[in-house]
Amino acid sequence: MSTQKESYESPLSARYADAEMKFIFSPDKKFRTWRKLWIALAQAEKELGLDITQEQIDEMADFQDEINYEVAEAREKVVRHDVMSHVYAFGEQCPKARPIIHLGATSCYVGDNTDIIVMHDALRLVRTKLVQVIRALSAFALKYKDLPTLAFTHFQPAQPTTVGKRATLWLQDLLMDLEDVEYQLSKAKLLGSKGTTGTQASFLELFDGDRQKVKKLDHLIAEKMGYQDCFAVSGQTYSRKLDSQMLSILSGIAQSAAKFSNDIRLLQHLKEVEEPFEKTQIGSSAMAYKRNPMRTERMASLARYVMVDSLNPAITAATQWFERTLDDSANKRISVPEAFLAVDGILNLYVNVTDGLVVYPKVIDQRLRKELPFMATENIMMDAVKRGADRQQLHERIRVHSMAAARVVKEEGGENDLLERIAADEAFGVTLEELAGIVRPENYVGCAPQQTEEFITETVEPLLRNYAGVSEEKTEINV
């Protein structure tokens, strides 16, 4: 048996997330970032007057991406410390720089700053995929802005809307999510170099008590790593509130996706709208005729995981002790990457489904017309009143006819014959042909078509112009 099949592998990595998101949370990305941070620290310390040479920095830069993993792994078995193992391995490659690698820093300098960088990189990828979903849904909404459909409140028939207008409700949720993503990215900060309890005591010692140089060190490191600033204060770690905020945003995206997923699954049950179904796809192992909504079901499943997972950093942030405690580490190593990997899988599915939604206008029209006579009674009654009829009398007659028609539908399984009953009632003075002209679906959708077009052209499209550089990539759905 292959050893590859003998050990557990997370389905989030094996089945759901794309290679790009998996690389962001990979060990290689992490350890390369550690080395970038060590180089940035050495450069900043040199610029602030410490005895560090350009030759030492150049030596470190030469091996920035050539990580000698075997040396680090062997060393970790001896010292049981991942950061110091990689300091040792880097020093083996850079003998001239060995004395100044990690100078004045604690493990959280590389660990926490890297975690922040990785989360921001992952959130940018989430933003890209959110934009792709919004584009696809916008096109769908415009295409079907005029197609009347039965709307539901409490999943009971209500006043009609249009298929496109319903899609704007999904879009609105995603725009709120995108706004949250942008806000979080707009306030991105690194931890910087804060020392063992956040007091920067080791750096104050290095710079002979020069507080301004210690302060400048943070800004130089941030600048070299592509950031505007660092957190003004911290304990040994950045506040775990940041992890909670990140996963709160991911939970919001999961909520939006789950709502969309539920709606599509209900519509697929009604045979009005279906997710894509490939020619050779099998819907059921027992029932060959079935077209199960596999993609949207998976979206709902992953979304549930993310929403629950977002509690992990919330509880962690709430239970940190003073300047540092290590009960965060094992939890955040699992909860944060897996939330991003799951959301990546969700958005891949969302793009795939919205790009290939199948709409059945005749089924939609048939269901709407079965319910529309009940909804049209107010208009029918008003037209009769204009011709001189008594409103109170007509209201009672419509009540009686409606109950009788409903009984035929519910108890006898027959067709809705309300219009025929009204046409046969002389009190209304209207023919069946005239009633057919009154009961036109497009007359009962209110402002839905206009609302849809205005929302897309005035809100969504101007927003999307800010993301013109985001490519239109086809997503592959695994398994």
Which residue is catalytic, options 154, 186, 285, 471? 154
What's the rounded mean pLDDT across residues 166-174? 98
The CA–CA distances, whole Å, from 167 to 358, 409, 442, 457, 467 equal: 13, 30, 18, 14, 21
| Distance separating alpha carbons of residues 414 and 406, to the nearest angstrom | 9
Domains of the chain: 18-103 (1.10.275.10), 108-149+162-359 (1.20.200.10), 363-444 (1.10.40.30)
What's the rounded mean pLDDT across residues 65-70? 96
Which residue is catalytic, options 10, 81, 284, 329? 284
Specify the higher pLDDT residue, 391 or 466. 466
| Distance separating alpha carbons of residues 214 and 200, to the nearest angstrom | 7
pLDDT at 16: 92
Is the Cβ–Cβ distance between 369 and 154 less than 8 Å?
no
Is the Cβ–Cβ distance between 336 and 243 less than 8 Å?
yes
Q: Helices (H) and strands (E) in the chain — how many of each?
A: 20, 4
Q: State the first-to-last Cα distance of the chain, in angstroms, to the nearest integer.
A: 22
pLDDT at 97: 98
pLDDT at 419: 87
pLDDT at 34: 98
pLDDT at 1: 43
Q: What angle do CA 374, 379, 382 make, to 5 degrees?
A: 130
**Active site includes 285?**
no
pLDDT tier, 379 (very low <50, low <70, confident <90, very high otherwise): confident
pLDDT tier, 183 (very low <50, low <70, confident <90, very high otherwise): very high
User: What is the DSSP code (8-state) at residue 4?
Assistant: G
Half-sphere exposure (Cβ direction) of 251: Cα atoms closer than 13 Å: 16
**The two three-digit tokens of residue 391, written as one number:** 């409103």
**Active site includes 10?**
no
Helix axes 294-309, 329-355, angle to 10 degrees: 150
- pLDDT at residue 27 greater than cutoff 80: yes
Distance of CA 330 to the CA centre of its chain: 24
| Distance separating alpha carbons of residues 248 and 242, to the nearest angstrom | 10
